[in-house]
Structures are given as structure tokens and as C-alpha cells.
Amino acid sequence: MKHILIVDDNKANLTAAKAALSDIYKTTAVLSGAQTLKFLEKNIPDIILLDINMPEMDGFEVLEKIKSTPEISHIPVIFLTADSDAETEQKCFDAGAVDFIAKPFVPAVMRSRIGRTLELEELRKSLANRLDEKIKEVSDIKSKSNKDVLTGLWNRAYTEEKVSELLAKGVKGALFMMDMDNFKAINDNYGHMAGDSTLKAFAEALQKYAGEDDVICRIGGDEFMTFVAEPSSKSALGKHAADIIAEVGYFLDNSKFETNSSVSVGIAQFPEDGGDFKSLYNAADKALYCVKQNGKNSYHFYSDQYAAENKRASNSVDLEYLREMMHRNDPGKGAYMLDFDNFHYVYNFIRRVVERHGEDVNTILFTLQNENADPSEIEQAVELLDRAIFTSLRKADVSARYSSRQVIVMLYDSKDNGGQICAERILSCYEKLYTGNLTFGYDIVKMENSGLMKNGRRNADSEVVKL
């Protein structure tokens, strides 16, 4: 039953109004504006019938206070007045009333106007609710489109937009670029469900240590990004990175993954290292690359790298000194062992040399043939194959792991059947080092014509890397 509050300083009018309405609505009657406001502190009627001419506080003053109180401002008000001139009518509507009823009351007219007002109010509420639902639906759709499906973190596009807004406002902060070291080995050895669980754990670690205003993002694959807003100090940023590395490391240890996986973090600060998102992103990416080239499983500030470069810039050297300094970093024995990303750069450089000078270069891909072997046994076998490659080849040859089961070797200046001879020599050395049952097959590609040569005596039906 709808609830109507009737306000009139004349008791006879109140009695007449209640008599006309009580059989249809729940009614409450008060005699003054002060009583009205006190009643509304704890009650929300569906409609208010408000007399205009009252002592101490007239109807217009009461309505003004109602409209200025958010909790009750939506209640429709119908004025009760003995004045039916156009000026009074206009004043009623200007004050915010939805209608007015002339005195003395005509019960049928009163009920009709109240009924119509309540119907319109129900329609207004219904439309408002539907609008709220649509706004929420649109908001949910937009939110989902801005989020990564697997982790629930923001995606790259939204993060760039949000961080750019914060930078434009002058919010100081730091951009963390992060990725999982050796993540592919988790997918290869334990399956994509294990890989997905690892990415979720990574995301949860970022959320655990994030502040209220931080923006956390999954860029894609095993790459993540966080904008840490208003950091207290550089040491606090370092601790933040160390906490993330340790948290993910704890998950990896408990998962018993035999993949030597970890987390690397590059950090760039605003405004010191970049004045906009793009420059800050590039600086953080360079800092991450520095971690990758120096052992992984750590964090690095771009500012530290920049300071080192500036130090070198302030201490110029001649070419002979630089050559000798770089030469001291080369142990000078065996094949040159690289990670796959750097192998890719070297490979493309050698390919240019071949195209220009016609050198003979062979690429050998060794593939483990035992698909269901224990991961720890696989790791041991591949490590011993690495050792066999290092000790069997020349300093001019280059090697890299492609995956936890495959190793690539590039042989420079290997003529005729030199590729097959080297491959057999490597496997012979491996068999002396390894006493288990895991074996490797190989395929050979000659670089000058990109022709696949199936001349390996232990060639397996395995995946061949497209170089």
C-alpha cells in the first residue's frame, strides 16, 4: 500500500484528506513544516501533500529543504492551496512541485491527481532502473573488453591510456616491465594448463603487492607490466620488485618445475627516465633486457644503466683499448654458447655474410627422441649435450637452446659433409658423458640454399625450427 504524508496546519483539512484517502492509501498527518522534516528523517513516504500557507515555515520553505536533502529529494510533492491563480500555479511548479490541488478538496479529483502522480512516479522509477541496468551492462562490457581473459588484469591498450592520464596529471611513479624466464619450458614439459596456472600466480603476486592506485597489466604471453603510483623511494621500488620475484619463485618451487624458471623486472621512473608512456615503456624495456643479459631472476633500474653509459661517455677510450677490453671477456675455448634470442641476432648477421661472400654454413638442430622422459632426466641430458657441443666444436661455432628438448648449432665454414661429421662427433662425445637411455636425433640445413639435408644417421621425426 502506498504511503502518503499530508501536511496542513488546519486539523479539519487533515481530517477531510484522511477520510478521502485512507481506504486506498496508508496516510500520515502532521501540522507543521518542522514536524514534516522530523518525520522525513526516519520515513520515506511515496508522496507528500503539502499545504502552502502555514505559520513559521510555509510550504515553499519546506519544499526547498526537501529538495536540498539528497535522501528525500526524489519524493514527489503536491501542493495544497486555496489560491488558484496562474501566478501561484507557476510558483508551485518553479519550486519543484509535480502538481497542486485546490482547496476545498473534491475527493474524486484528489484521488485522481494522486493516482496519476503515483503512476508517473512508478514509470520514472522503472525507466531509471532500466537505465541503470543498461549503464551497468555497458560498463561491464567495456570493463571486460579492457581486461585480459586469463588473469583478469588490464590489457595493454587500457593500461597505456590510464598511465598516460596519470602522467599528464603529474602523478609520479615507476613502470615495471616483467616477464617469466624460461616460461616456454613449463608449457613444453608440463602442458599449457600448468603454464596458465603459472601466469595466474604471476598476476596474483602483482595484485598482492600493488597499491590502491597502481595499474596492473598483462601485455601478452608471459609479459606483464605495472605502473606503481607515488612510490616513496627507489629502495621501496626495489623491495617491491624483489617481493614479486620471491612470491613467484615460491610458487615455482612448490610446483616442482624442473625448468629453472624465474622472473626478471626492468624499472623506469617518471619523470626521471621518461616524460610520457612511450618513453617510459622503452626505458623499462631496456632495463628488462639488461636483466635478461646478466643472469635473469633479478631487477634493474634504467637509471642505473643510464648512469653507467654516462660514466663510459665521460671516459672515452681508443679503439685498440676497447678491443682489448672486450676480448678479455671471451674465455676463448669451445663453441660460443648463447640464449636463443641472441642466437637469432648472430644467425641473421652470419646469413648476411653468407649472402655477400658465399661462405659455407651449416645449422644442426638436435632433438631429444624420448618424448615421455622425466623432466629432470631431460634437463641432465640436454646439459650434457651442451657440454659435448662446447668441447667438440671450434671457437667460431655458435650454439643455443631452442627449447628444453632441442639445441641449435651453427657451424661456420663447414664444407662438404662437415655438418654431419660435426654432428656425429658431438653425439659421440655426449654418449661418453651420459650413461642413461635418452638419445638425440639431428637435422641439418645448409644456409646458402636453405635446403634441408636429411643426412643425419640419427635423424628423428621431430619439429624443425624455421630459421
Alpha helix stretches (DSSP H) within 328-455: 340-357, 375-392, 418-433
Given the residues 51, 179, 181, 222, the one annotated as active site? 222
Cα separation, 384 vs 404, in Å, equals 13
Cα separation, 231 vs 246, in Å, equals 20
Cα separation, 244 vs 263, in Å, equals 8
Active site residue 222: yes
Contact (Cβ atoms closer than 8 angstroms) between residue 283 and residue 267:
no
Cα separation, 344 vs 289, in Å, equals 15
Q: Which residue type is seen at 100?
A: F
Cα separation, 401 vs 242, in Å, equals 28
Cα separation, 183 vs 171, in Å, equals 33
User: CA nearest 271: which of 198, 120, 179, 170?
Assistant: 170
The alpha carbon of 240 is separated from its chain's Cα centroid by a whole number of angstroms, namely 17
Angle at 337 between CA 331 and CA 343, to 5 degrees: 130
Q: What residues act catalytically? A: 222
